[in-house]
Amino acid sequence: MTQPFGRVIDGKAVAAELRRDVARDVAELVASGCQPGLAVILMGIDPASQVYVRNKAKQTREVGMASFEHRLPATARQTELLSLVQQLNNDPAVHGILVQLPLPGHIDERIVLRAIDPAKDVDGFHPLNAGLLAGGGGGLVPCTPLGSMILLRSVRPGLRGAHAVVLGRSNIVGKPIAQLLLAADCTVTVAHSKTERLPDICRQADFLIAAIGRPEMIQGDWIKAGAIVIDVGINRVPTVDGKTRLVGDVAFEDARQRAFAITPVPGGVGPMTIACLLRNTLQAARSQSGGSILSSAGKSLP
């Protein structure tokens, strides 16, 4: 018998399945003479970024894509970074470009993200892709929001009419997730650090998407009975024995008691982010080896 509450959503397994699908399609594309390629630019030595880049390069090769890594010192000038982006924009072997965030303080992130060819913008951060998402689809969708939607749909295929509460309003996660939920006919509330009576708003959520970056801030009694909780937070916190461990934005064990289903950290949204990056690279390679970036316009969002 399946349990009515406390189901843990296995992001690792769903991500592995998605990567298998991507690998199969990559093989097909390679057979037709195009190997998808993903280039990552890492500037400086942010620890979270290091983990991500390591996992990503390995998985890129595992699905049969070419992986290109470019490292710049934290002190490199913005013009140097921009000319590298330009070089990758013009490189036909590169179908996807990812500039690791955060960037050092002397770099204007907005200028850099706007310099990436929107057709190669596999993070989906370019304003053209953000605009296409707001307009209902057709561009490249940010990976973490895409992965969160796939996990949500893995336990609740029909999302229509449900009240989704998104905690966080970043351009990278909160806003694009809100757009995807709206496109799926949810009623969407976007809450953030200045929101008043946050626990009460959370208690109204059929779907609670936590993307605020505060370790275990969301308490068990903020969760509506039977809600689905997607925890996007990846926070490294110290343990008693002097090591560190990863926790989400949600107090997992307490929330699990009340939720219908919940994503763990690690092993939830994180692995989906990388799998979706590969999916986006495949999509980008396809449109560059044939159609335009708008060729999938009208195609339904996840």
Ligand X SMILES: Nc1nc(=O)c2c([nH]1)NC[C@@H]1CN(c3ccc(C(=O)N[C@@H](CCC(=O)O)C(=O)O)cc3)C=[N+]21
Q: What are the catalytic residues?
A: 56, 100, 123
- Number of Cβ within 10 Å of residue 125's Cβ equals 24
Exactly one of 37, 43, 52, 288 binds ligand X (CB under 6 A); which one? Answer: 52
Question: Is residue 209 a contact point for ligand X (CB under 6 A)?
Answer: no
274: contact with ligand X by CB under 6 A? yes
What interhelical angle do 47-62 and 269-288 show, nearest 10? Answer: 50
Smaller CB separation from ligand X, 141 or 198 = 141
Query: Is 82 a binder of ligand X (CB under 6 A)?
Result: no
Closest residue to ligand X in the complex (CB): 270
* 43 binding ligand X? (CB under 6 A): no
Residues 92-111 that bind ligand X (CB under 6 A): 98-101
- Binding status of residue 213 toward ligand X by CB under 6 A: no
Give the DSSP letter of residue 63. Answer: T
- Collapse the DSSP code of 97 into the 3-class scheme (helix H, G, I; strand E, B; otherwise coil) and give the result: strand
Interface with ligand X includes 267 (CB under 6 A)? Answer: yes
Is 234 marked as binding a ligand? yes
Query: Annotated binding residue at 37?
Result: no
Residue with tokens 């694009």: 176
Q: Does 57 bind ligand X (CB under 6 A)?
A: no
Select the residue interacting with ligand X from 64, 145, 174, 271 (CB under 6 A): 271
Is residue 25 within 8 A of residue 275, CB to CB? The reply is no
Check binding of 210 to ligand X (CB under 6 A): no
116: annotated binding-site residue?
no
Report how far residue 57's alpha carbon sits from residue 21's, in angstroms, rounded to the nearest whole number. Answer: 18
Residue 170 counted as an annotated binding residue: yes
DSSP codes of every residue in 203-243:
TT-SEEEE-S--TT-B-GGGSPTT-EEEE---EEEE-TTS-
CA 176 – CA 179 distance, rounded (Å) = 5
Decide: is 117 part of the binding site for ligand X (CB under 6 A): no
Q: Where are the alpha helices (DSSP H) in the chain?
A: 11-31, 47-62, 78-89, 109-115, 127-134, 143-155, 174-183, 198-202, 252-258, 269-288
Q: Which residue from 23, 51, 66, 217 is in contact with ligand X, where contact means CB under 6 A?
A: 51
Q: Which residues are annotated binding-site positions? A: 168-170, 234
User: Residue numbers of the site for ligand X (CB under 6 A)?
Assistant: 48-49, 51-52, 55, 98-101, 123, 143, 234, 246, 265-267, 270-271, 273-274
